Amino acid sequence: MAHHAIAVMVSGRGTNLAAILEAAKNGECPVDVRVVISNKIDAPALRIARDAGVSSVFFVNPKDYKDRIAYDKACADIIEKADCQWVVLAGYMRILSSFFVNYFFNRIVNIHPALLPAFTGVDGVSDALAYGVKVAGCTVHLVSEEVDGGAILSQAVVPVLNDDSLESLHQRIQKEEYKLYPQTLHRMIEQGFSMDGRRIIWR
């Protein structure tokens, strides 16, 4: 298995995928994006992947499978055939099955637009803004069966301004995501980590 080979799973615009591909192209992130999988046929991320020259780009239609596990097994088969070490979620909007999480145990990575463990779920940015926090940010974490509940790999902090709207705060968080995700993948591959309970210990 190639330690630097990754599969990226996407559902939408693909901006984090684009950031990872750009960092890889510039030599800033030593990943080989071998596979991109989307559950949405019209996801702009698919075009981004093809334009960047990713060799294996797949739309896997959930309607073709009887349940979530069957779908996830099909995706896992694609990832295994490409010999990928890591599964990178970049705006992937499906809840992964227990089968998939355990099959790639501690090899699935996600980025969340909040400082976990606070403000989990799809409304992390708006929940943080409504709560009145003075700092927000983003978190790269391992994926567990608990949504947004895996061990934390890295975080970046974004100040919340008095005049912030949901859109303005989210845009600044995304700018940090585009730096933090490639940096964290770089560190995972070049440096590696061990775990002490929930704590990630960088080597």
Active site residue 170: no
In tens, the pLDDT along 145-192 reads: 999 999 999 999 999 999 999 999 999 999 999 999 999 999 999 999
Ranges of each domain in the chain: 1-105, 110-203
When pLDDT is cut at 50, 70 and 90, the band that residue 18 belongs to is very high
Question: How confident is the model over 85-106, as a mean pLDDT?
Answer: 96
Q: Walk across the sheet containing 135-142 and list its strands.
A: 56-59, 32-38, 2-10, 84-89, 108-112, 135-142, 152-159
Fold of 1-105: Rossmann fold (3.40.50)
When pLDDT is cut at 50, 70 and 90, the band that residue 1 belongs to is low
Amino acid at 25: K
* pTM of the complete model: 0.95
Q: Which of 4, 112, 141, 170 is catalytic?
A: 112
| Sheet strands (E) in the chain | 2-10, 32-38, 56-59, 84-89, 108-112, 135-142, 152-159, 193-196, 199-202
**pLDDT score of 178:** 98
Q: Quick check: do 1-105 and 110-203 share a fold?
A: yes
Of 159, 152, 165, 158, residue with least CA distance to 137: 158
Question: How confident is the model over 138-149, as a mean pLDDT?
Answer: 96
Other beta carbons within 10 Å of 44: 16
User: What does the block give as tokens for 71?
Assistant: 């779908």
Q: What is the CATH number of domain 110-203?
A: 3.40.50.170
Q: What integer best gives the mean pLDDT of the chain?
A: 96
d(CA 173, CA 156): 9
